[in-house]
Chains A and B, each alone.
Chain A
Amino acid sequence: DAGVIQSPRHEVTEMGQEVTLRCKPISGHNSLFWYRQTMMRGLELLIYFNNNVPIDDSGMPEDRFSAKMPNASFSTLKIQPSEPRDSAVYFCASSLSSPARGDEQFFGPGTRLTVL
């Protein structure tokens, strides 16, 4: 398996533009997580899905952020409109079963987002 795949790896955009980050989890994994990492705030969970259903989105910073998982092999994280403070590395991770089981999370390579 290729592991968790994220695209793009780098994104530079201007304030106010829409940004879409993409993730393909490991085949057979039932849970998918979106994280944001910054020096100031560390590693923050934004949202996670179990069996394509959003379970906990309490970490989503505000209405400008939205996430979807239309099927078991694809998820998107969208920021509209983007702001400079959204600049961060966004990681997608997947695990075999629900977080309640405590399975290992496998992280993707991350998307480095810069909003000018």
Chain B
Amino acid sequence: GENVEQHPSTLSVQEGDSAVIKCTYSDSASNYFPWYKQELGKRPQLIIDIRSNVGEKKDQRIAVTLNKTAKHFSLHITETQPEDSAVYFCAASNGYGQNFVFGPGTRLSVLP
């Protein structure tokens, strides 16, 4: 089955700096890669996703890149703000009815 690893487990950045979180997956059949943000005590919420036919996707300060050959994808947050502080989860899913496998999460702290 799919295995998703995520690094780093914790990340602290100064407000205004960029943050990068990386994930690797094992199942070459995976073709959908979402990122979820979970604020303390709240539910996970989708912030961006990418499919295997696309190498990069951007939404304002957030971007995701995908390297299918190397089986890794990354989340990039630019101009970080304190409200970006949360746990971020990557996930991978294939098209054969097998559902998402989430990574272990990255706790991002944006220091003012």
Interface size band for A:
20 to 34
Asked whether A105 is an interface residue with its Cβ less than 8 Å from the other chain, the reply is: yes
Which residue in chain B gives the minimum CB-CB distance to A59?
A: B99
Q: Is the interface of A mostly helix, strand, loop or mixed?
A: strand
Picked from A44, A50, A99, A107, the residue with its CB within 8 Å of the CB of B93 is A99
Asked whether B89 is an interface residue with its Cβ less than 8 Å from the other chain, the reply is: yes
Interface size on B, residues (CB 8 A): 24
Contacts of A110 in B (CB 8 A): 43
A104 and B34: CB pair below 8 A?
yes
List which A49-73 residues lie within 8 A (CB) of chain B.
Answer: 50, 55-56
As a 0/1 sequence over residues 59 to 94 of chain B, the CB contacts with chain A under 8 angstroms (1 = contact) are 000000000000000000000000000000100011
Asked whether A2 is an interface residue with its Cβ less than 8 Å from the other chain, the reply is: no
Q: How far is the CA of A100 from the CA of B46 in the complex (A)?
A: 17
B43 and A42: CB pair below 8 A?
no
Picked from A33, A104, A107, A109, the residue with its CB within 8 Å of the CB of B99 is A33
A102 and B102: CB pair below 8 A?
no
Which residue in chain A gives the minimum CB-CB distance to B96?
A: A100
Which residue in chain A gives the minimum CB-CB distance to B103?
A: A42
How close is A81's CB to chain B, nearest CB, in angstroms? 28
Picked from B31, B89, B99, the residue with its CB within 8 Å of the CB of A45 is B99
A91 and B49: CB pair below 8 A?
no
A42 and B104: CB pair below 8 A?
yes
List which A72-116 residues lie within 8 A (CB) of chain B.
Answer: 91, 98-100, 102, 104-105, 107-110
Which residues from chain A sit less than 8 Å from chain B, CB to CB? 33, 42-45, 48, 50, 55-56, 91, 98-100, 102, 104-105, 107-110
